[in-house]
Amino acid sequence: MDSVKRSAVTPSKSRLARTFAKVLHIQAVTGVAPEDGVEKRKSHEKTKKDLLKKSTRIPSFEDEDEELQDRAVREAFLAKLFASLSAIKAAYAQLQFAQSPYDADGIQSADQIVVSELKNLSELKQCYLKKQLNEMSPETTVLLSEIQEQKSLVKTYEITSKKLDSQLKLKDSEVTFLKEKLADTNKDNRSLEKKLNSSGQLAMPENTRFSDLKPTHFIVYLRQAVKSIRSFVRLLITEMESADWDLDAAASSIEPNISFWQPNHKCFAFESFVCREMFDGFNHPNFSTRTSAEQGGHHQHRLFFDRFMELKSARPADYLAWKPKSLFATFCRKKYLRLIHPKLEASLFGNLDHRNLVNSGDLPETSFFTAFSEMAKRIWLLHCLALSFDPEVSIFQVCKGNRFSEVYMESLSDEAFLSSDGTLETDPRVAFVVVPGFRIGATIVQCQVYLR
């Protein structure tokens, strides 16, 4: 029975011994326990992966460096391209500038530069097409190209500046020529007018008949009247300046809320004031204080023509001394007292002697009153001449703010036709009337206006 049990146990022991032997054999071969072997195998695989990652990172840095190098080369190529284009532009500007005045050396030099730069552009094109853009030092090439481009730009600006200076000199010479031409034309006009006046074609000769009246006669005497008004206004402004008047304030009180285009244009405000006062009632019967015997028809027109002929060649002072109670003398006294305010007279002369003499029926013998009487004579002659026509000459004015019309108006401020940006102003408006206009039958004599 014992023998049976031993035989049953022996096989299992032998299997266990074989198992231990296998384990010992594995330890002897690997030198690690089974669990440690697994961990070391994982560590080995991780190290292998890290090495693979490192081996992939190195080519990545190399690619980035190569891309940056390519970009720098392209930038250098573009810099050379723009530098060459700027050089061509500068050379073309020089070529244009050398055309006028003609400069053979300048044209040849510019032509050579253009040809050279075109060849350079052709070479750059071939390099680009063949992808031969290698640059040993692209950064240096970029800097040199930018310097060349800036030099070309400076050269272009210098040539443009010279061209503008040349054009300015040309315009100045044209202005000088036109001024001289204008002065010669004005001189010729004055000479022609003098000849016409002396020949009697414009001025009314002494033997002019009532039936010979024409609108041109009225226009000539209107010009003389306006000229005498402006002469008196210049004298008045001079006297006011000597008396320390604020001319700007005075002009603003005459024509308020007006911005004058030029400082010296304020004289137009004074002319407007004088014309308003002197022409006031021009079409009214009381302007000449006509009597009932003077009213009506052909006799009335002939009567005023005779008055015109009587006064036109006389000096105002002589005529006033000869006929101190004439209608002209009454007109002078009335208009002086209305035009020259007592405060103005006192500030100009320090007293009211002029006014006192005029009120007493006498007339002052001063240069100021002489200038006034000369102006009054011209306006009185114009009035008599206007009443000599059949139908009579009528006066007209335009309102402030009216649109400018070349038919009825003559502008004294040409600046109003230009806007602030230099373009033509299409709708200038009337600021105030300086000299009234007149109708002589179908003939219109324009009024003179100041535009805003």
221 in the same domain as 101 = no
pTM equals: 0.56
Q: For position 21, what pLDDT does the model report?
A: 54
CB under 8 A, 24+ apart: contacts of 287-294: 287/331, 287/383, 288/327, 288/331, 288/383, 288/384, 288/387, 289/327, 289/330
Residue 39, in any domain of the structure: no
* Cis status of the peptide bond prior to 316, with omega within 30 of 0: no
**19 part of a folded domain:** no
Question: Which structural domain, as residue segments, surrounds residue 139?
Answer: 65-190
Give me 75's structure tokens.
């930038």
What is d(CA 138, CA 32) in angstroms, rounded to the nearest whole number? 60
Same domain, residue pair 140 and 240: no
Cα torsion through 222, 335, 357, 290, rounded to 10: 90
* Neighbour count for residue 408 (Cβ, 10 Å): 17
Q: What is the dihedral of CA 110, 116, 118, 119, to 10 degrees?
A: 170
Is residue 363, in this structure, part of any structural domain at all? yes
Cβ atoms of residues 231 and 394 within 8 Å: no
Whether residues 248 and 377 share a domain: the answer is: yes
Asked if 126 and 254 sit in the same domain, the reply is no
**What distance in Å separates the CA atoms of residue 132 and residue 223, rounded to the nearest whole number?**
85
Residue where one domain finishes, among candidates 190, 220, 242: 190
Cα dihedral 440, 443, 448, 451 sign: positive
In a 3-state reduction of DSSP, which class is residue 403? strand
**How far apart are the two ends of the chain, measured CA to CA in Å?**
149
One domain for residues 308 and 348: yes
Q: What is the pLDDT of residue 178?
A: 85
H or E segment to which residue 433 belongs? strand 430-435
Token pair listed for 11: 């096989």
H/E stretch holding 435 reads strand 430-435
Do 402 and 347 reside in the same domain of the chain?
yes
Residue 182 shares a structural domain with residue 320: no
Last-in-domain residue among 144, 160, 190 = 190
> Rounded CA gap, 93 and 121, in Å?
18
Residue 26 lies in a domain: no
What is the number of structural domains in the chain?
2
Note whether residue 224 is domain-resident.
yes
Amino acid in the structure at residue 51: L
The pLDDT assigned to 203 comes to 55
The residue type found at 407 is V
Q: What per-residue confidence (pLDDT) applies to 15?
A: 56
Instruction: Give the relative orientation of helices 34-97 and 138-199 as an angle to the nearest 10 degrees.
Output: 30
Claim to verify: residue 96 and residue 142 sit in the same structural domain: yes
Q: Would residue 98 count as lying in a domain?
A: yes
Do 154 and 273 belong together in one domain?
Answer: no
Tokens representing residue 434 in the block: 């300086």
**Is 38 within the bounds of a domain?**
no
The DSSP output letter for 210 is: G
Rounded CA-CA distance 255/166 in Å is 44
Residues 125 and 253 in one domain: no
Say how far apart CA 428 and CA 417 lie, in whole Å: 7
Domain end among 158, 190, 222: 190
What are residue 45's phi and psi, to 5 degrees? -65, -40
Q: For residue 394, give the H/E element and its range.
A: strand 394-396
List the beta bridge partners of residue 450: 432
Q: Are residues 314 and 423 in the same domain?
A: yes
Spell out the SS3 assignment of 89-110: HHHHHHHHHCCCCCCHHHHHHH
The tokens of 175 are what?
């202005």
Cα(111)–Cα(88) distance, rounded to whole angstroms? 10
Hey, what are 59's tokens?
């080519």
> How far is it, in rounded angstroms, from Cα 365 to Cα 357?
10
Looking at residue 340, the DSSP 8-state letter turns out to be S
What stretch of H or E contains 87?
A: helix 34-97
Tokens, residue 357 = 């003499």
Q: Are residues 185 and 227 in the same domain?
A: no
Average pLDDT per block of 10 residues along the chain, 452 residues long: 43 52 48 46 51 47 69 79 83 78 78 81 78 72 81 83 83 84 79 60 61 85 93 94 93 92 92 94 59 56 88 89 90 93 92 92 88 94 89 90 91 82 78 94 92 89
> How many helices (DSSP H) and strands (DSSP E) are in the chain?
13, 6
Residue 30: its pLDDT value, please? Answer: 44
Quote the CA–CA distance of 447 and 226 in Å, as a whole number: 11
Within a domain: 97: yes
Q: Name the DSSP class of 286.
A: G
